[in-house]
Structure 1
Amino acid sequence: MAEGTRTVLVATDFSGGALAAVREAAAFARAWSATLAVLHVNDDLSDDPGFSVSWLRPFGMALDALELGRIAHEVAHEKLETLVAAEDLADVDVTLHVTAGSAVQEIARLARELEADVVVAGRSGAGALERLMLGGTSERLIARLPCPLVLVGETPLPAKGVLLPVDFGPCAPKQLAFLRELPRVEEADTHVLSVYALPSYFWDAIEGHLSEEQVDRTVGEAMRQRLDDLVVEREESEHHVFREVRQGIPAREILSFARARKVDTIILGSAGHGGVTTTLPGSTVLRVSRDFRGRVVITPPEESTAGGW
């Protein structure tokens, strides 16, 4: 996390999850003594080939795209004020932002401009932002963000149970950094999980030489040692840290583990070595984000330079 002033950026489309996203972002802002920036992105009518101001003439409305854009900006700003007023944010420094254009580009642009420490977005409702988060273009936003992305879950902060799936790729340091900053209850358990999958030709090569139990034991011990090397567990820590290694399909194992341990937060990496996380369509990140109803945090690789992470 960056030194000095911190910024939490929350993007909203005024759908059902908008208030929950603002509430979640405010919780981060309070925990970090950060500024809360609330953003809404309007469609850019001047760039929309499917829109024509001539449609309004039968209704006696002589407006051009520029004037409609101005009206849309004012309406969105009023909606942001109403949304923020629904929460008691007197103790939080709040700034409101309305832009027009591509949601992906505008969220990423403002995150870089504000040097945001985290971007928060809701997942319930039927708005464009939800389709962005869980649809085919969400990997574009993840790839462009300079900071972690938080998809709001069903339970509010502080977190009561956290799952950290790692594949020892470039995102692992960022995942651990966010874990240390995540508001958690004192008795919260943290589970660090590594999932590995061995290709079929490996099993063909060892047939008759090693049993599956021997392979699982050998690989499991090596992976657990890597987890021990990766995670620094201090004796004075108030959080319980558990390590586990599983073999199988990453998304399936992560979701199964999360349900079994009843965690409410999963911290994923946006890029990996092909084991746990990747930003390809249909990847582990997208499947977990879609199917896990708790909080999902997606962190960028360590070499990301903008923002506080």
Structure 2
Amino acid sequence: MLQRILVATDFSSAAHNAVARAARLAAEAGATLEVVHVARPRRRSLLAWLRREPEVAAGTEVARERLEDVVASARRHGADVRGHVVTGTPVTALAATARRLKANLVVVGARGVLRFRDQMLGTTAERLIEQELAGDVLVVRKPARAPYRTLLACVDLGPAAAQALRSALRLAPQATARVLHAYEPPFASLLRNAGLRVQAREHRAFARSRALEALEEFLRDAEVDADRLKVALRIGEPRQTIERAAPQLDPDLTAVGHHTSPLAQPFLGSVARHVLRLSVGDVLVSRHA
């Protein structure tokens, strides 16, 4: 169960959406909401910093005053809210604060257009899911005007995907939930290119039945209410399949697992980063080391 939610704010419109969604979730779950603003340290020499100490103190005080306004707006949703101003680089400071507060969920806002630096180094959300966190990461793109109504869980049958599915169902208890699983029949192209059309068709049918069996076993092991779920099987590479299916399904919330193993990350972990860059509503990412 959700006990503590951490939401980051830089006082932007994207952060405003994240705070509103986090406050709504905290109120629904009866969880404590921790609103965190990260103030970047000034890159100055010690002597220069000492000379400008009043300016530094004033900047921190302004941040605290703005944070009080954000906390007040979050309380209007009925949540138990506390505010924090911490110093450091955003990703490192947020991860450290989340660990210190033992947050079950970290919520951040997504900017509409990626900057060149984000495209090269990754967005805050993309770098945050690589951190050692006890909970999941929710990336908010849209205003939180209502509870989540449609949920898309992209599963690769791994433990991170199972955690993402369970977490998403808790965050969206009223949503219509669809599970998307992409699979690739081995040797199908070889049979087709060899002109063995009948064998290729039989092979695809067999692969689909095996994929369905594996998905049903995955859902049983995940201990979720399978009757609530609509299953969608798609042939293809996961990233491309999600990119095609997501606009058609138009989910409010998309859930995906993120693998952090050095071996799995280049292949499976990149799916989560890819989903974070798609326009698919809010995105929930669950890690599994």
**Aligned residue runs from structure 1 range 148-167, under 5 A:** 148-154=136-142, 156=144, 157-167=146-156
Q: Measured at CA, do residues 277 and 79 of structure 1 come closer, stay the same or move farther in structure 2, by a change above 3 Å?
A: farther
Instruction: Give the 3-state SS of the residue equivalent to 1:14 in structure 2.
Output: coil
Q: Which residue of 2 aligns with 1:97?
A: 84
**Which residue of structure 2 aligns with residue 174 of structure 1?**
163
Shift of 1:138: 4.3
Q: Give the 3 Å change call, closer, same or farther, for CA 52–194 of structure 1 in structure 2.
A: same
The answer to whether the 8 A contact 2:108-2:140 is kept is yes
* In 2, Cα distance between equivalents of 1:293 and 1:71: 40
The CA RMSD measured in Å over matched residues stands at 3.5
Give the structure 1 partner of residue 12 of structure 2.
15
Letter in 1 for 2:129: I
Question: Do the aligned residues in 2 keep the contact of 1:16 with 1:125 (CA within 8 Å)?
Answer: no
Once residues 238 and 198 of structure 1 are traced to their aligned partners in structure 2, the CA distance between those partners, rounded to angstroms, is 25
Q: Name 1:141's counterpart in structure 2.
A: 128
Q: How does 1:235-274 map to 2 (within 5 A)?
A: 240-271=228-259
Looking at both structures, which has the greater relative contact order when contacts are Cα pairs under 8 Å and sequence separation is at least 6? 1
2:68 is matched with 81
Deviation of 1:231 (Å): 1.6
With normalisation by structure 1, the TM-score equals 0.77
Partner amino acid for 2:127? R
Post-superposition CA distance 1:193-215 (Å, at most 9, x none): 1112357x774478466743223
Distance in 2 (alpha carbons) for counterparts of 1:39 and 1:149: 15
Look up the match of 1:306: none
Residues 289, 296 of structure 1: 8 Å contact kept: yes
Across the two proteins, how many residue pairs are aligned to each other? 279
* 1:90 CA drift (Å): 6.9
- For the structure 1 residues 74 and 202, does the alpha-carbon distance in structure 2 shift closer, same or farther, using more than 3 Å as the test? same
Contact 2:23 2:74 in 1 (8 A): no
Flag structure 1 segments of 5+ consecutive residues without an equivalent.
304-309
What is the CA distance between 1:284 and its match in structure 2? Answer: 2.2
In 1, are the aligned partners of 2:107 and 2:139 still within 8 Å (CA)? yes
Distance 1:269 1:36 in 2: 24
Out of 12, 21, 25, which is 1:24 matched to?
Answer: 21
Distance in structure 2 (CA, Å) of the matches to 1:246 and 1:137: 31
Displacement of 1:232 = 4.1
- In the TM superposition, residue 123 of structure 1 has moved relative to its aligned partner by 1.2
Q: 1:100 and 1:30 mapped to 2: Cα distance?
A: 28
- In the alignment, which residue of structure 2 is the partner of 1:290? 277
Of 216, 230, 234 in structure 2, the residue corresponding to residue 228 of structure 1 is 216
- Opposite residue 12 of structure 2, the aligned amino acid is S
